[in-house]
Amino acid sequence: MQSTQVEPRVKGNALAMLIEEAQRALESGLQAKRLAVLPHDLQKLIEHGALPNEWYPVLYYSLLGELLCTTTTLERVEYLRNLGVKDFARLKRARTYRQLDYLVKLDAKRDLGTQLHDARLITSLMTSIFNFSRWGPAADPKNPKYLVIQVTDAAPIPEVFRLLTEGFQTAMNRDIKPLARAVRSERPRPDLIIFRSTGPKPDSG
C-alpha cells in the first residue's frame, strides 16, 4: 500500500501578520490587480483574514511574503527581518503562545543546561505552526561548543519564512538579553536550516 503524502501546511496564526500587511498595502495604494496572480482562495484570505487554528497551504506564506517584498523600498532581506521583529511583538502582545509568556521569567545569565531546556521550549512554538519539519537545539557543526537551532525535514519551508524567522528569533533573544547578537541562518541543503546568533549586536549596525 502506498503512503499518502501530506501537503505541507502552515497555521493561520502564522499567516495573519502577512495578511494584515497585505491589507495595509492595499489601503496605502497597492493596486488590487496585482493580487489577481494569487490563488483565488488566498485572495479571499487577504479579504477576510485567516482562522488562527486552521491549516493552509504553506505556498500561501511564500506567495504573500514575496508579494509584500515588492511593496517596499527596503532591501528584501532587511524587510523580511523587520517583519519578523514585528511578528514577535504582535504574538507577545496577543499572548497567543505560552512559550512567549515564559520569556519574561528568563535570566540572561542562566547556565547552559537551562538554556538548552529553554531552547527546546521556544522551538516547540515553531514546530506547532507547521504540519512538517522538526525544530530543536543542537551542537553547532562548525563549533560544537555552541548551540544552534537546527531545522530538519525543512524542504517545504519558504525562504521568506527563513529570513523572517531571523528577525523573529533576534527580537526574542533581545527580549531576554538586549545586547544579544542578531540571528543569522544558512541552508546547507534544501531540507536543513541552521540558525546561529552570529550577527551584529544592536549597537554595531
Q: What's the confidence (pLDDT) of residue 26?
A: 87
Residue with the bigger pLDDT between 100 and 138: it is 138
Please check the confidence at residue 201 and state whether its pLDDT lies above 60. Answer: yes
Residue 32 pLDDT class (50, 70, 90 cuts):
confident
C-alpha to C-alpha distance for 112 and 97, rounded to whole angstroms: 24
Residue 24 lies in a domain: no
C-alpha to C-alpha distance for 17 and 188, rounded to whole angstroms: 28
Least confident piece of the model among 33-47, 113-127, 153-167: 113-127
How much is the average pLDDT of 142-163? Answer: 94
Q: What is the DSSP letter of 197?
A: S
Structurally, the chain folds into a number of domains equal to 1
Q: Each residue of 172-199: pLDDT tens digit?
A: 888 888 898 999 999 999 999 999 999 9
Report which secondary-structure segment, H or E, holds 143.
strand 143-152
Residue 26 lies in a domain: no
Residue 111 lies in a domain: yes
Q: What's the confidence (pLDDT) of residue 29?
A: 79
C-alpha to C-alpha distance for 67 and 86, rounded to whole angstroms: 18
Residue 133 lies in a domain: yes
CB contact burial 41-61 (16+ within 10 A = b; e otherwise): ebeebbeeebeeeeebbbbbb
Residue 184 lies in a domain: yes
Q: Each residue of 103-135: pLDDT tens digit?
A: 656 555 655 555 665 667 678 888 889 999 999
Residue 110 lies in a domain: yes
Residue 145 lies in a domain: yes
Please name the residue ranges forming H helices in the chain.
12-27, 40-48, 58-69, 76-94, 98-102, 112-128, 159-176
Query: 10 Å Cβ neighbour count for 76?
Result: 16
The parent domain of residue 171 ranges over 99-196
Residue 189 lies in a domain: yes
Contacts of 183 (CB under 8 A, 6+ apart): 165, 166, 167, 169, 170, 173, 195, 196, 197, 199
Helix (H, G, I), strand (E, B) or coil at 51: coil
C-alpha to C-alpha distance for 161 and 179, rounded to whole angstroms: 24
What nine digits make up the cell of 29?
495604494
The phi and psi torsions of 16 (rounded to 5 degrees) equal: -55, -45
Q: What's the confidence (pLDDT) of residue 45?
A: 95
Q: Closest Cα partner for 80 from 17, 13, 151?
A: 17
